[in-house]
Amino acid sequence: MSHHSRRSFLTVAGASLLSTAGLGVSSEVGTAQSSGDEFTVVEESPTTKTLFSAVTSSEGPVAVGAGGDVVARGANGWSKIVEYGPQARSRPLRGAAVTDDGNGVWFVGGSGVIGEYRVDTDTLTNYSAPKGKTSTWEDVAVVGHAGTDERLYFVNGSGELLVGVRQESGAIRYEEVLKPGGGSTIPGIDFHGRKAGHVASTSQLVAATSDGGMEWNRIGIDFAGGAFYDLASVAADDVNVAGGDGIVYRYDGSRWTPHVIDGDRQAIRGIDRDGGDGLAVGTDGKIYERQSAGEWTRFQTATDAQFNGVASGPNFDVAVGNTGAIAERTVDGDDGDDGILPILGGSATDSLVTTTLDSTTTDSILDGDFEPEFPVAYDPDAVVEVVEGKWVLGES
């Protein structure tokens, strides 16, 4: 699973413009009551098959699941973008990851199936059974930019890790197969750097690497008794593992602490972290939101389906699960104060764009034309007037 900031895809003229757009957070731990924070269950999912994993691409949320289905959230709702999988053989897709630029969605699954869907070109490519490996791939992590410098990490039900590196020719070069999980199934892998990340196995093993997967060091979890389902790697000293009995395990660089975030002690099936923010999902339509290192708020959605995957994003937070269940929450809202400038037309010359994040202000001068349908971060106070429906920005 790959994790991206809510601000990862807010760029203009090649420079990142950080927005203060964010997620409303309930102040109480327990079942959330604020309607502004609630998730809505999608009434007409494009699939009735189980969805196992979700990511946020540059075009919006994407989820993968049984039968080789890949579904995506667009401006007009959810639709199916891949049917039958990359081999056209309906192999189930169990894990997904997205490139750093959000343009390439990689997914893996049964019988060695691997595929990539480029959301910027609507192109599907089949990479299945590399090195003749036909075991079920359980999860994938990717670091780098689509089509240029990806470094890929695939893990399977035999506890194997296969690393692939994109070459200048466009081909993927695969390295020797390793077993960081000691032979047990690895349901989760995540990288916080190009060569630094973590894996979790079904034998209660969590291991870390800092050299791209060549060497792995076991860091836990000796006292854990339940199953592991997923993990999120934020840093060498900031890791979460989603486990059985309603537990999310937290690693701070030296010790593991179990946090029971589900009072019914039902398994936590998926987890996603975005810096200090985090989401997790479980059984009976429950979603959990991280408030602090050891505090999570529970959301009860209007479904009893089991959720398996979750992803946060700049526009939507989504949870996906059994029978094609999808729950989503709008992040930026429609109140006009979310820090995201609506679609602009025409051009901008010498306009001052001011963005604020954690009390740090960045000023960027936009010279000449830019893409008319590109979202631009801004400070609402910088809007001095509206002329013929266009925003005029200046020093405030």
- Last residue within a domain, chosen from 309, 330, 351: 330
> Is it true that the peptide bond before 221 is cis, omega within 30 degrees of 0?
yes
Q: What is the pLDDT of the chain when averaged over all its residues?
A: 82
Residue 3, in any domain of the structure: no
Degrees to nearest 5, angle at CA 385 with 379 and 387: 125
**pLDDT single digits (tens) 36-91:** 579 999 999 999 999 999 999 999 999 999 999 999 999 999 999 999 999 999 99
pLDDT band at 159, cuts 50/70/90? very high
How many other CB atoms are there within 10 angstroms of residue 212's CB atom? 18
Question: What sign has the CA pseudo-torsion 87, 110, 90, 105?
Answer: negative
Place of tokens 């660089």: 253
The label of the residue with tokens 């007409």 reads: 44
379 and 258 assigned to the same domain: no
Q: Would you give the DSSP letter of residue 158?
A: T
346 and 323 in a single domain? The answer is no
What's the CATH code of the domain at 192?
2.130.10.10
Mean pLDDT for 97-115 is 98
Classified as helix, coil or strand, 35 is helix
* Domain co-membership, 313 together with 362: no
More confident call, 119 vs 35: 119
Rounded CA gap, 298 and 236, in Å?
Answer: 27
Same domain flag for 324 and 353: no
**How many separate domains does the chain show?**
2
| Residue range 235-260, pLDDT digits in tens | 999 999 999 999 999 999 999 999 99
Range of the domain at 98: 25-330
130 within domain boundaries: yes
Q: Are residues 266 and 354 in the same domain?
A: no
Tell me, yes or no, whether 292 and 368 share the same domain: no
- 12 is a domain residue: no
> Does residue 306 sit in the same domain as residue 354?
no
The pLDDT value given to residue 385: 54
Q: What is the pLDDT of residue 278?
A: 98
pLDDT at residue 25 is higher than 70: no
| Domain end residue (candidates: 330, 358, 373) | 330
Is 68 domain-assigned?
A: yes
- Work out the end-to-end distance of the chain between its first and last CA atoms, rounded to an integer number of angstroms: 41
Both 53 and 108 in a single domain? Answer: yes
Yes or no: say if 159 and 186 are a contact pair by the CB < 8 Å rule: yes
Cα–Cα distance for residue pair 349/366, rounded to 1 Å: 6
Same domain, residue pair 369 and 269: no
Domain assignment present for 177: yes
Q: Kind of pairing, strands 351-357 and 137-143?
A: unpaired
Q: Looking at 312, 330, 348, which one is the last position of a domain? A: 330
Q: How confident is the model at residue 181 (pLDDT cuts 50, 70, 90)?
A: confident
Can you tell me the distance from the alpha carbon of 19 to that of 313, in angstroms, rounded to the nearest whole number? Answer: 13
Q: Tell me what pLDDT residue 37 has.
A: 75
Taking CA atoms, 385 is separated from 381, 392, 394, in Å, by 10, 5, 9
Domain co-membership, 274 together with 370: no
Q: 212 lies in a domain?
A: yes
Q: Residue 332 — very low, low, confident or very high, per pLDDT cuts 50/70/90? A: confident
- Evaluate whether 245 touches 280 at the Cβ level (below 8 Å): no
Residue 312 or 22, more confident: 312
Average the pLDDT over 222-238 and give the result: 96
User: Once rounded to an integer, what is the mean pLDDT over residues 127-140?
Assistant: 97
When mean pLDDT is compared over 5-9, 345-349, 374-378, the highest value belongs to 374-378
The reply to whether 75 and 216 lie within a common domain is yes
Q: Is a pLDDT exceeding 90 seen at residue 219? A: yes
* CA–CA dist 19, 7 (Å, integer): 7
Residue 18 lies in a domain: no
Residue 255 placed within a domain: yes
Which pLDDT tens digit goes with each residue over 355-387? 333 333 333 333 334 333 334 444 445 545 544
Complete DSSP assignment for 344-379: P-S--SSEEEEEEETTEEEEEEE-S---TT--EE--
| 300 and 366 assigned to the same domain | no
